[in-house]
């Protein structure tokens, strides 16, 4: 069973707050990365403004322990002044060129909302959690059509925001970062930039927990499973060289990877009668041919895992 402090935290989680956040994010019509960043009521800009205010409200209750910032850069599309800026881009941390990313069809700001709660005893040890607030419909470059994205991934962002609201009143020993990532549907762009920002600054990210599509317990065939959730845990570290990988595989050490050890710890803490939940460990990076915002952290040499609903329902992922 969780200790008394953790039970107290869990008891404060509000379904109404989470549902309210999901409904509000869906109300922006679309949160496509390429949608309007200036319209006050529709598009990703309106969602970003609202989310920033909500995280700031949590920070205001933290007595100065939590700060809210934007991790931001300008992402250029594949043909945009390619020859003119090639020699200049490598000098600019705020401008990036995504290669042949066909989902970026004009220059766009990629802005991740980052709420950092400083640790009281070991602030240099950092844990990151969050989901992506951008959305899309079936056409990955349709930035005008509706894409409410309630499950994918207003659900994960709502959990991140609710955790920020609660933890703002506590003094965790280590630093916790609550995020709302941008640009996930265009290639994990926001998570990649945040992970590289931390890596470049030599930040000790001890673990990253990706919350992506955590709000739907009903499968496509109608099966309802509200008491299980999947946790994807990579085996061989993505940054490992071939010699170390060969040695690891020869002794079966892929099962002892940092991501799988983190996953087993989460299972032991979260699967109990108090939560009424069971974490199903999936020993893979992610679902087949799919990806998530934990991957860039793994590629940066950090440890990352992904929570996702117990069953796939593609109709609820748009």
CA 116 to chain centre: 14
Q: How far apart are CA 123 and CA 134, in angstroms?
A: 30
What are the pLDDT digits (tens) for 113-163? 999 999 999 999 999 999 999 999 999 999 999 999 999 999 999 999 999
* pLDDT number for residue 101: 79
Q: How far apart are CA 94 and CA 17, in angstroms?
A: 34
Q: Is residue 88 very low, low, confident or very high in pLDDT (cuts 50, 70, 90)?
A: low
More confident residue, 222 or 12: 12
Rg of the chain taking only CA atoms, in angstroms: 19
Question: Which of 13-17, 278-282, 309-313 bottoms out in mean pLDDT, i.e. has the lowest?
Answer: 309-313
Q: Is residue 184 very low, low, confident or very high in pLDDT (cuts 50, 70, 90)?
A: very high
β-bridge pairing 174-181 and 122-132: parallel
Q: Is residue 316 very low, low, confident or very high in pLDDT (cuts 50, 70, 90)?
A: low
Q: Are the C-beta atoms of residues 274 and 1 closer than 8 Å to each other?
A: yes
The Cα-based distances of 240 to 117, 202, 216, 247 in angstroms read: 31, 18, 35, 11
Claim: this prediction has a pTM higher than 0.85: yes
Q: Is residue 81 very low, low, confident or very high in pLDDT (cuts 50, 70, 90)?
A: very low
Q: Is residue 317 very low, low, confident or very high in pLDDT (cuts 50, 70, 90)?
A: low
CA proximity to 24, closest of 7, 56, 49, 60 = 49
Q: Tell me what the pLDDT averaged over the chain comes to.
A: 92
Rounded to 5°, the CA angle 235-284-289 comes to 130
* pLDDT number for residue 135: 98
What are the pLDDT digits (tens) for 225-265? 999 999 999 998 999 999 998 998 888 888 999 999 999 99
What are the pLDDT digits (tens) for 260-304? 999 999 999 999 988 999 999 999 999 887 889 999 999 999 999
* pLDDT number for residue 312: 79
More confident residue, 94 or 42: 42
The Cα-based distances of 242 to 103, 257, 284, 295 in angstroms read: 32, 15, 19, 19
Tokens of 133: 């607030």
Q: How far apart are CA 43 and CA 146, in angstroms?
A: 9
Q: How far apart are CA 107 and CA 96, in angstroms?
A: 10
* pLDDT number for residue 1: 78
Give yes or no for residue 318 having a pLDDT over 80: no
β-bridge pairing 204-211 and 122-132: parallel
Residue 24: partners with Cβ closer than 8 Å, 6 or more residues away:
50
CA proximity to 32, closest of 154, 128, 148, 150 = 148
Domain 4-70+112-316, what architecture? Answer: 3-Layer(aba) Sandwich (3.40)
Mean pLDDT of 25-44: 98
Q: Are the C-beta atoms of residues 143 and 30 closer than 8 Å to each other?
A: yes
């Amino acid at each position: 069973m969780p200790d008394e402090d953790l039970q107290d935290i869990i008891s404060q989680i509000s379904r109404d707050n989470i549902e309210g956040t999901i409904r509000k994010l869906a109300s922006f019509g679309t949160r496509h990365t390429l949608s309007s960043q200036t319209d006050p009521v529709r598009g990703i800009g309106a969602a970003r403004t609202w989310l920033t205010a909500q995280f700031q409200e949590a920070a205001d209750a933290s007595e100065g322990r939590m700060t809210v910032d934007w991790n931001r850069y300008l992402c250029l599309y594949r043909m945009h002044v390619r020859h003119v800026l090639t020699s200049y881009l490598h000098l600019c941390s705020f401008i990036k060129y995504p290669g042949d990313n066909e989902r970026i069809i004009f220059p766009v700001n990629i802005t991740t909302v980052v709420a950092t709660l400083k640790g009281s005893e070991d602030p240099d040890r950092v844990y990151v959690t969050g989901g992506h607030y951008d959305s899309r419909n079936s056409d990955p470059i349709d930035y005008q059509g509706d894409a409410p994205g309630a499950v994918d991934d207003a659900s994960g962002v709502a959990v991140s925001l609710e955790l920020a609201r609660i933890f703002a009143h506590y003094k965790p020993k280590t630093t916790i970062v609550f995020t709302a990532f941008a640009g996930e549907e265009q290639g994990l762009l926001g998570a990649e930039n945040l992970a590289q920002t931390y890596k470049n600054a030599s930040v000790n990210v001890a673990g990253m927990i990706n919350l992506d599509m955590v709000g739907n317990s009903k499968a496509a065939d109608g099966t309802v499973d509200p008491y299980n959730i999947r946790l994807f845990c990579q085996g061989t570290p993505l940054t490992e060289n071939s010699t170390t990988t060969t040695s690891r595989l020869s002794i079966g050490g892929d099962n002892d990877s940092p991501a799988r050890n983190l996953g087993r710890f989460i299972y032991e803490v979260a699967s109990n009668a108090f939560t009424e939940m069971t974490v199903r460990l999936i020993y893979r990076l992610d679902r087949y041919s799919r990806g998530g915002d934990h991957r860039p952290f793994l590629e940066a040499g950090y440890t990352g895992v992904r929570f996702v609903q117990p069953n796939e329902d593609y109709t609820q992922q748009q």
